[in-house]
Amino acid sequence: MKAGNKSNNPLLRLERVSKLYPGTIALYNSCLELLPGEVHGVIGKNGAGKSTLVKIISGIIPPTSGLILLQGEEHRALTPMEARQHGIGIVTQEPQVIPDFSVAENLFTPAYPCNRWKSIRWSQINARAAEILRQTGIDISARAKGSDLTISEQQLLLVTKAFYVDNAQIIILDEVTASLSEKDERLLYEMISREKAKQKAIIYITHRMAEIVKVCDRVTVLRDGQTIVTEQVSRLNERELSQLITGQEFPRDSQKMPESKASAASEQREPVLLSVERLTKAGNYYDISFDLHRNEIVGLAGLRGSGRTEILKTLSGILHADTGKVILAGKARGIGSPAEALKQGIAYLPEDRDREGLIEKLSVRFNLSLSSIASLRKGLFLDKKAELSRTKGLVNLLSIETPSTEEEVHYLSGGNKQKVVVGRIISRKPKIFLLDEPTKGIDIGTKASILEMVRTKLRENAGVLITSPGLEDLIAVCDRIIVLHEGRIVNEFLKRDFDESRVYLAMQGMRP
């Protein structure tokens, strides 16, 4: 796949580009150069600046300072339309197919071929779409609806649109393999190879080092909003790349790493609240076994698609395992629904709080009381005085910033919305907390306060299972970290052995 470039004149160059927000430096003096016929990897931890970089190049946001050069032409900023006019296309990690449109319509929207009377030439669209699908090896009908496609097929369809219909010369692939099946991932790599031969340039954003090594010619590492290095992939091994990403060197005793079957159970004096035995859900996770003790915080670390969210959803009754056991307080239990999980003392904080965790058009009071209405009843009626007292107590406990408990939730900041979800699950006094990315999408100050709340208030007389988009969060609060790769447990780290570079390597499926 890797071949030499015919031209050394960059299609794109970023020079000392910065993006500043109040109290936050998202990108600082970052540089990037993209050559014709090059696949250029961009890698870094969550929060490293990858998304900001992509948004600046595609015209979604303007930089605060710096220059964007497109084939030598200087720009202080781009709009999305200007980016498209300059041949920049982007495919994001969340497929954005129009569900009621056919595959052909999705491929050609919004620029449908028309005849001289401005009527859309549907027969030409369908025939051309069928030919593109045949050439790329995608086994779907041009007349199928977008809603009938799998997530993997939707993602591949959007990549195909960028390559073959929009005819972009610079294509940004932003974490696209996270949604792809193994078969469709192979088709993607074949497409990339063909487009390279046409001297198109690809910016390949990923968390996975193995993909960088497999696909990319050069790689730029971002850390804390800054460009750390741009280097030929052939000159870096995976250990060196991991060090550049995390900013940590490997200790000399790196061979003394705990094996994947390591367990902290023998060191725990507290009773086991939850045991998971050989839990399997095909396509999501396999043979998962671990214990969770009282007063213990256990992190589930893994890349997107590693199975971490699906494990929490299974324990909360949203998904159902094919095989395996869940043992609570020494007894095997079936968790058939979220309501059953709540009865068993399990509280779940979802990754997508806006869709799964809140009713945004209703008040702070209503949302905080939602999970505990039964305990607030006085006969047939709701005890309004008790509800208000509990609501005010939770607002004070979690420092929720709201002008009133009657304020509609959608008016709150992202951090305060997250606190409302946490408050709702606290109100039932559960024995086990399942927290799926509790710090996702919130500011630094609120993040610190939520992590402190997990470390102090939530773990008290309970057990906590937590995932996070950033390893630093897990290292800050956890007693143990279980590492998942492609749906399987590959390693386990005790607190005394926490090392970001080692955990990061394990997440990539490599032995630290």
Strand partners, 485: 488
The per-residue pLDDT for 443 is: 64
**Helix, strand, coil abundance in the chain, percent, nearest 5:** 40, 25, 35
Residues 374 and 339: their CA atoms lie apart, in Å, by 13
Query: Which region among 9-18, 61-70, 434-443, 497-506 has the lowest average model confidence (pLDDT)?
Result: 434-443
- From CA 434, how far away is CA 451, in angstroms rounded? 14
Concatenating the DSSP letter of every residue in 390-425 gives HHHHHHHHHT---S-TTSBGGGS-HHHHHHHHHHHH
Cβ atoms of 103 and 141 within 8 Å: the answer is yes
Asked whether 411 and 367 are in contact (CB, 8 A), the reply is no
Identify the pLDDT of residue 323.
95
In terms of C-beta distances under 8 Å and separation of at least 24 residues, what long-range contacts does 186-190 make, across chains too? Answer: 187/136, 187/137, 187/138, 187/156, 188/156, 188/159, 189/1, 189/214, 189/215, 190/136, 190/137
The arithmetic mean of pLDDT across residues 431-436, rounded, is 93
pLDDT given at position 355: 60
Q: Of the ranges 74-78, 258-262, 400-404, which is most confident?
A: 74-78
Query: Is residue 338 classed as helix, strand or coil in its secondary structure?
Result: helix
Q: What's the DSSP call for residue 292?
A: E
Q: With a cut of 50, say whether residue 264 has pLDDT above it.
A: no
When mean pLDDT is compared across 46-55, 120-129, 164-173, the lowest value belongs to: 120-129
Domain with CATH 3.40.50.300 in the chain: 12-93+170-188+204-246, 252-345+433-512
**Structure-token pair, residue 330:** 């020494």
CATH superfamily entry for domain 12-93+170-188+204-246: P-loop containing nucleotide triphosphate hydrolases (3.40.50.300)
300 or 430: which leads in pLDDT? 300
Provide the whole-model pTM.
0.71
Buried b (16+ CB within 10 A) or exposed e, 141-175: ebeebbeebeebbbbbbbbbbbbbbbebbbbbbbb
Report residue 260 as tokens. 């994947």
Amino acid at 480: R
* Residues 493 and 258 sit within 8 Å (Cβ to Cβ): yes
The amino acid occupying position 212 is I
Could you tell me how many helices (H) and strands (E) the chain has, helices first?
16, 22
Place of tokens 């449109």: 101
| 3 state DSSP class of 229 | strand
What integer is the mean pLDDT of 259-274?
59
pLDDT mean across residues, the chain: 86
Superfamily classification of domain 252-345+433-512: P-loop containing nucleotide triphosphate hydrolases (3.40.50.300)
- In the prediction, which pLDDT does 261 show? 35
Q: What is the mean pLDDT of residues 449-454?
A: 84
The pLDDT of 405-426, averaged and rounded, is 82
- Indicate the pLDDT class of residue 423, thresholds 50, 70 and 90: confident
Amino acid, single-letter form, for residue 486: E
| pLDDT value at residue 260 | 32
- Whole-angstrom distance, CA of residue 434 vs CA of residue 308: 11
- Among 189-198, 371-380, 455-464, 471-480, name the one with the lowest average pLDDT: 371-380
Please say whether the beta carbons of 15 and 30 come within 8 A.
Answer: no
| CA distance linking residue 413 with residue 419, whole number of Å | 10
Helix (H/G/I), strand (E/B), else coil: 50: helix
